[in-house]
């Protein structure tokens, strides 16, 4: 990374920490990064790495043009109220708090009549902790092309990014990649249980399952052919794979996964409304 982005992290927990580590690895200077966190241990950790730290918002935020909001969604209304005195004309707020819509965030940072338009809503996922994340992004009306580039640089420190056009599409991102790691982990669990039932021990079950999943994912990623073609190549008529897939099809595997993702999408929309309403009441 060549651009030295002055970024303040409001919350220094796991996801913010992954981003900070990624930025440092890419050459961003520690003195360009600031962490606000109520936890003393968290502050000590980042201060020892050369970052400036604070337990609450202070005037040092005026030196940072991007604020990465990484607190719990239920805390964000209160936190934004404490941040507002330090907003400047060029301040860009990037929220990774799940369920907080662009409209809600804009109104919390501004007002209902004059919402703050320089906002980006981001939906990262937990593989960001190992720099293999996938982050969906949607921008407010006041976000320039230059700021989009800087946000991409920021989030690309922990994986891939994808811009979408609305909060509804971020809800779709949530259903696919935000919640998606849990689906994969559950599939891994099921495969490992099945492997043990076939007589393999725990270590063997884990090694075979994880290596198979990693290899299949990498093959799908590198191949120019559709995933359906890759699947068909493994599936010989009347063979073992066909027998296994027949069971999945009879139990409506695709429909089950689709229904699960729809449930996640619906809940994301409902959560946005709940959090907005609660923030208004507070």
Give 277's pLDDT tier (boundaries 50, 70, 90): confident
pTM exceeding 0.85: yes
Name the token pair of 123.
Answer: 């939906």
Domain assignment present for residue 44? The answer is: yes
Instruction: Assess if residue 109 is contained within a domain.
Output: yes
* Domain housing 220: 180-251
Q: Give the chain's domain count.
A: 2
Same structural domain for residues 34 and 114?
yes
User: Are 25 and 136 within one domain?
Assistant: yes
pLDDT band at 275 (very low <50, low <70, confident <90, very high): confident
Are 160 and 210 in the same domain? no
What confidence tier does 1 reach under pLDDT thresholds 50, 70, 90? very low
Closest CA to 8 of 52, 44, 55: 52
| Distance separating alpha carbons of residues 5 and 147, to the nearest angstrom | 10
Domain co-membership, 186 together with 162: no
- Calculate mean pLDDT across residues 202-222: 98
Transcribe 47-113 into DSSP letters: HHTT-EEESS--GGGGG-SEEEE-S-HHHHHHHHHHHGGG--TT-EEEE--TT--HHHHHHHHS-SS
Q: Is 254 exposed, middle or buried (0-12, 13-18, 19+ CB in 10 A)?
A: exposed
Are 76 and 200 part of one and the same domain?
Answer: no
Mean pLDDT of the chain: 94
């Amino acid at each position: 990374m060549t651009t030295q982005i002055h970024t303040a992290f409001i919350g220094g927990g796991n996801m913010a920490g992954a981003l900070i580590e990624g930025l440092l690895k890419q050459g961003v200077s520690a003195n360009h990064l600031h962490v606000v966190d109520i936890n003393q241990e968290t502050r000590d950790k980042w201060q020892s790495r050369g970052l400036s730290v604070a337990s609450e918002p202070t005037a040092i935020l005026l030196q940072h043009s991007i604020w990465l909001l990484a607190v719990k969604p239920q805390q964000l209304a209160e936190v934004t109220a404490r941040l507002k005195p330090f907003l400047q004309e060029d301040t860009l707020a990037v929220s990774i708090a799940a369920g907080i819509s662009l409209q809600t965030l804009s109104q919390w940072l501004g007002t209902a009549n004059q919402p703050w338009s320089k906002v980006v809503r981001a939906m990262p996922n937990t593989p960001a902790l190992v720099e293999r994340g996938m982050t969906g992004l949607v921008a407010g009306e006041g976000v320039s092309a230059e700021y989009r580039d800087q946000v991409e640089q920021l989030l690309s420190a922990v994986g891939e990014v994808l811009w979408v056009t609305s909060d509804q599409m971020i809800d779709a991102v949530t259903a696919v990649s935000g919640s998606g790691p849990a689906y994969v982990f559950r599939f891994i669990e099921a495969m490992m249980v099945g492997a043990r039932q076939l007589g393999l021990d725990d270590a063997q079950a884990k090694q075979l399952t994880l290596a198979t999943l990693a290899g299949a994912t990498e093959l799908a990623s590198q191949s120019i052919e559709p995933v359906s073609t890759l699947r068909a190549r493994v599936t010989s008529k009347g063979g073992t794979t066909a027998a296994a897939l027949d069971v999945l099809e009879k139990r409506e595997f695709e429909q089950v996964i689709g229904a699960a993702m729809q449930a996640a999408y619906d809940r994301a929309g409902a959560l946005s409304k709940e959090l907005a309403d609660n923030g208004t009441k507070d």
